[in-house]
Amino acid sequence: MARQSGVGFFTPVRGSLAAIIGLSVLGAAASVVPFIAIVELARVLLPGLDGESVDTGRSWAIVWIAVGALVVAFAGAFASGMISHFADAELQLSLRRRIVAHLQRLPLGWFDARSSGAARKLVESDVTALHQLIAHAIHDVIMATVVPLLILVYLFATQWILAVAALVPLVVTLVLYIVMTGGGTEKFQEYDKATERLAGATVEYVHGIAVVKRFGQVGRSHKRYREEAKRYVEFSTDWTKDSLTPMAMVEIVTSPAVIIVYLLAIGVGIVQAGWAQPLDILPAVLLGSGVVAPMMALGATAQFLRNAMKAQGSLAAFLALPPIPYADRPVAPEGHEVEAADVCFSYDGEHQVLHDIAMSCRPGTVTALVGASGSGKSTLARLVPRFYDVTSGTVSIGGTDVRSVAAGELYRRVGFVFQDVQLLRTSLRDNIRLARPDADDDEVERVARIAQIHDRILRFEQGYDSVVGEDANLSGGEAQRVTIARALLADAPILVLDEATAFADPDSEAAIQKALSALAADRTVLVIAHRLHTIVGVDQILVLDGGRIVERGTHADLVAAGGRFATMWRDYQANHARTRPEEAKA
């Protein structure tokens, strides 16, 4: 983690960062020189008002030094800004490539447990948030450090009393900032939570507005939105009130006019006391406000920096996630039998989800996993394509532990269709042949017919060339059938199906079941079943409860046994007798 958030994180732009720092220091130092030149020029020219001779050569030398310093200051700032923005672009490109590469190495379960927005946040929002850190923060921090330091060094060299006086606004400002940001971490955490709650309430209200209008519940529907908006406003108002007085004092203390008047007053006092000459107060008057001003500019970017640091922490934590391990010497499975032996699994290392699972699924057979929600059937099915790795025990294909099979080989052998359908924003043709890009149009049409989606596709104006989300808007059941066609085309010898007909309409469900039955020939099929009538004819049913297999056998055997499955079957028939008589009679 340390390396991810430290030097290794910025390795691609390390040379650029050094250049940015060097140019920023040069530009900051050069920006002070013209003010010092004014003071020194005054020392040369003012005696001439009393008739003394003026060193013209020295005067012009000071002028040219000031001009040269201005050029260097502008050039340094420009070059630093240009390099920093190029470095920012380079870092963003490097990070996005690194993130995508790391995403490819993570277990599929990482995506299963997160929405696509989580990956999008990393690739887009978090990477973009680093812009302020690279493109602006380095220059701002150096200016806020080098400029006041050089000014104070010069003031101490010319008039130490005024130098000390110039320090007072800086110290007061720092104290006020500490008071103003007291409990800042907790406040910012509360602010983030309030923002998230308001955003969630807003999305919920907008997404549900059509439904609530239809049922005349507009007043109730946005109650949560009103409450969260009120809480957000109250929090923001209280926070603003708490920081209003310190902020006003900061504005007063750091005001250039106030600082100049303050230093003039001190200067007049020490001149009257005979501790300094009138000319000695000129450096403090010209440069005194420059001690605090750069820090105020830095304070204005504090929120951007906070967001950038949060993004850096988020990216570092993501890049530190351990990738899924693959064998150095992968082994090719011999056959397509799926077996589990003494399998235990835990998501967090503490709470066991699966306990001592043992099963054997032979080629050419269909095995159904049934059980109540949370019984572990989906988790067990996802161990076969290595969405997760077992905590103990083994899951094997053809006698080979899936952890010893190369990734490409594993996904050529195991196809899966889950309820959370994922279609790409490309043509329906390319969506179907995602696993086999070289498949010809006839093969695509053949599997689409089997999956009962061909006729629906032809009703789109562009047919198979219709782009999902643009030319083609699919229902849940239609999208499910596209993924079934995709699995059929992949022709994997092992299939894992999570109620593949869950979103199918009654007219096409029977056809899809027939297609899946034909597909099972010489294949190993593992089905997560919710509609019990769809698994009456399968070869083996495994009943899970609390992460354990409590019953196994055929439908007839389990019903005859009068155990847990028989109870589930009776309840299922009773619940569907009125709403879906065709299922109850199955």
Per-residue pLDDT of 484-505, as tens digits, reads: 888 888 888 998 887 655 555 5
Q: Is 501 helix (H, G, I), strand (E, B) or coil?
A: coil
Let me know whether 315 and 349 are in one domain. Answer: no
The number of folded domains in the chain is 2
Neighbours of 507 (CB within 10 A): 8
CB atoms within 10 A of CB 277: 11
Q: Looking at the structure, do residues 388 and 482 belong to the same domain, yes or no?
A: yes
d(C-alpha 410, C-alpha 330), whole Å: 10
Does 368 share its domain with 301? no
Comparing 192-201, 233-242, 308-317, 426-435, the range with the smallest average pLDDT is 192-201
Same domain, 421 and 307: no
Same domain, 310 and 350: no
Q: What's the half-sphere exposure (Cβ side, CA atoms, 13 Å) at 496?
A: 24
The answer on 435 and 309 residing in a single domain is no
Residue with the larger pLDDT of the pair 586 and 563:
563
| Sign of the four-CA dihedral 554, 559, 560, 561 | positive
- Pick from 135-144, 301-310, 396-405: least confident: 301-310
Q: Is residue 52 part of a domain?
A: yes
Is residue 339 a contact partner of residue 359, using CB atoms and an 8 Å limit?
yes
Q: How far apart are CA 14 and CA 7, in angstroms?
A: 8
Is residue 177 a part of any domain in this protein?
no
Whether the model clears a pTM of 0.85, i.e. scores above it, the answer is no
More confident of the two residues 458 and 211: 458
H or E stretch at 527: strand 524-528
Q: Do 500 and 418 have their domain in common?
A: yes
Are the beta carbons of 321 and 6 closer than 8 angstroms? no
Same domain, 371 and 342: yes
Q: Closest Cα to residue 392, out of 441, 437, 342, 349?
A: 342
For residues 500 and 528, give the distance between their C-alpha atoms in angstroms, rounded to a whole number.
Answer: 9
Q: Do 504 and 414 share a structural domain? A: yes
Taking the C-alpha atoms of residue 301 and residue 298, their distance in angstroms, rounded to an integer, is 6
Rounded Cα–Cα distance for residues 304 and 310 (Å):
10
**What is the Cα–Cα distance from 387 to 486, expressed in whole angstroms?**
19
SS3 493: coil
For residue 285, being part of any structural domain is answered with no
- The model's confidence at residue 436, banded by pLDDT at 50, 70 and 90, is confident
208 near 221, Cβ under 8 Å?
A: yes
Whether 517 is in a domain gets the answer yes
Query: By the 8 A CB rule, do 512 and 452 touch?
Result: yes
Report the half-sphere exposure of 4 (CA within 13 A, side-chain side): 17
- Please report whether residue 442 resides in a domain: yes
Q: What is the CATH number of the domain that holds 4?
A: 1.20.1560.10
Say whether pLDDT at 444 is over 90: yes
What's the pLDDT score for residue 505?
58
Contact call for residues 309 and 133 (beta carbons, < 8 A): yes
- Each residue of 267-319: pLDDT tens digit? 888 888 888 888 888 888 888 878 887 776 666 667 677 778 778 888 888 88
pLDDT higher than threshold 70 for residue 217? no
Residues 311 and 377 in one domain: no
521/383 same-domain check: yes
Cβ-contact 406, 426 below 8 angstroms: no
Strand-pair partners of 361:
338
Is the distance from CB of 497 to CB of 417 less than 8 angstroms?
yes
Question: How sure is the predictor about 380, in pLDDT bands with cuts at 50, 70 and 90?
Answer: very high
Rg of the chain's alpha carbons, rounded to an integer?
36
Question: Is residue 224 assigned to a domain?
Answer: no
In three-state form (DSSP H/G/I as H, E/B as E, the rest C), the secondary structure along 216-273 is CCHHHHCHHHHHHHHHHHHHHHHHHHHHHHHHHHHHHHCCHHHHHHHHHHHHHHHHHC
Quote the domain boundaries for residue 569.
338-584
User: Once rounded to an integer, what is the mean pLDDT over residues 142-169?
Assistant: 88
Domain end among 324, 348, 371: 324
- % of the chain beyond a pLDDT of 90: 23
Specify whether 299 is located in the same domain as 428.
Answer: no
Kindly report the average pLDDT of the chain as a whole number.
81
- The Cα 490–Cα 415 span in angstroms is 7
* Alpha carbons 140 and 21: distance in angstroms, whole number: 10
CATH code for position 377: 3.40.50.300
Kindly state whether residue 229 falls inside one of the protein's structural domains. Answer: no
pLDDT-derived band of residue 167, with 50, 70 and 90 as boundaries? Answer: confident
In a domain, 204, yes or no: no
Euclidean distance between the first and final Cα of the chain, in Å? Answer: 56
